[in-house]
Amino acid sequence: MKTILIRKSFALAAAALAAYGVHAAASTAAVAFRFDDNHTPDDWRAVAEAFKAENVRCSFAVVSGGLSDEQGACLKALSDDGFEIMDHTAAHAVYVAQWLKETDYVAACAGMDRNAAWFGSANASARKVRFEPEIDLGHAKNVRFTGHVTDGALFCDDTTVAAQLTFSKKIWIPSKAALFGVVSTAADGGRKLREFYGETDQTFDLADEEMVLVDQIAIQPA
């Protein structure tokens, strides 16, 4: 299970969530929550109830192909209750806050600086705000390597690094000034890329350059 990264503006029940890998970052006026991977319905409901108690919603990023009927029914109920269910894809690490009441959403948005680095977009009909990520390219767990891209597929001659370029891993490409996710591995070893937050396969070409395999914990809400 990956970590939920939080910048707090609500008094969350930290003790109740500690067992689920919840960590709090520095205090600010924004909130973003994500709970990753497949868990038991009881665990999902426990997390959901903790957020509902604070009148907010979180996102559940799940591997849809591996769900039991019981898990599927639980997620359907959570979706009906306003929680966002996302497939665990290369673009799944989206930071989202959702308000239960429209009045609370409007009040929260009124206090947000939409030109701030952390602000991504707002969806009034869904009462949601999405937050931009902050990438720590100097993080100790990042891995620098040389790679090239052909028709949107990343190739790396270093077999040790290539073995780490698996589904959902994030790659920073300096010449593109963008973060990409690995969505699949082709028979020739190329890793098909999609831009972070995006759902469109890439088609660009790049000669060899230094890239960064970005560790998940080096990506936080901006």
C-beta of residue 179 within 8 angstroms of C-beta of residue 216: no
Q: For residues 42 and 15, what is the distance between their CA atoms, to the nearest angstrom?
A: 17
Any idea which of 2-6, 46-50, 143-147 has the lowest mean pLDDT? 2-6
Is residue 30's pLDDT more than 90? no
Q: What percentage of the chain carries pLDDT values higher than 90? A: 34
Ordered strands of the 84-87 beta sheet: 34-36, 59-62, 84-87
Domain ranges of the chain: 4-131, 143-216
Name the burial class of residue 182, with classes exposed (0-12), middle (13-18) and buried (19+) by CB atoms within 10 angstroms of its CB: buried
C-beta of residue 179 within 8 angstroms of C-beta of residue 171: yes
Give the pLDDT band of residue 26 (cuts 50, 70, 90): very low
Bridge-partner residues for 35, per DSSP? Answer: 60
Where in 93-142 does DSSP place strands (E)? 95-99, 119-123, 128-131, 133-135
pLDDT digits (tens, 9 = 90+) for 75-86: 889 988 988 887
C-beta of residue 25 within 8 angstroms of C-beta of residue 55: no
Name the burial class of residue 13, with classes exposed (0-12), middle (13-18) and buried (19+) by CB atoms within 10 angstroms of its CB: middle
C-beta of residue 5 within 8 angstroms of C-beta of residue 36: no
Residue type at position 166? T
Give the pLDDT band of residue 143 (cuts 50, 70, 90): very high
Q: What is the mean pLDDT of residues 83-109?
A: 74
178: nearest Cα among 156, 200, 157: 200
Task: Report the pLDDT value the prediction gives residue 72, as an integer from 0 to 100.
Answer: 87
Q: What is the mean pLDDT of residues 127-137?
A: 84
pLDDT digits (tens, 9 = 90+) for 43-55: 899 889 988 888 8
Task: Give me the chain's average pLDDT, please.
Answer: 79
- What pTM, to 2 d.p., does this model score? 0.56
pLDDT digits (tens, 9 = 90+) for 149-188: 999 999 999 999 999 998 878 999 999 999 998 988 999 9
C-beta of residue 88 within 8 angstroms of C-beta of residue 61: yes
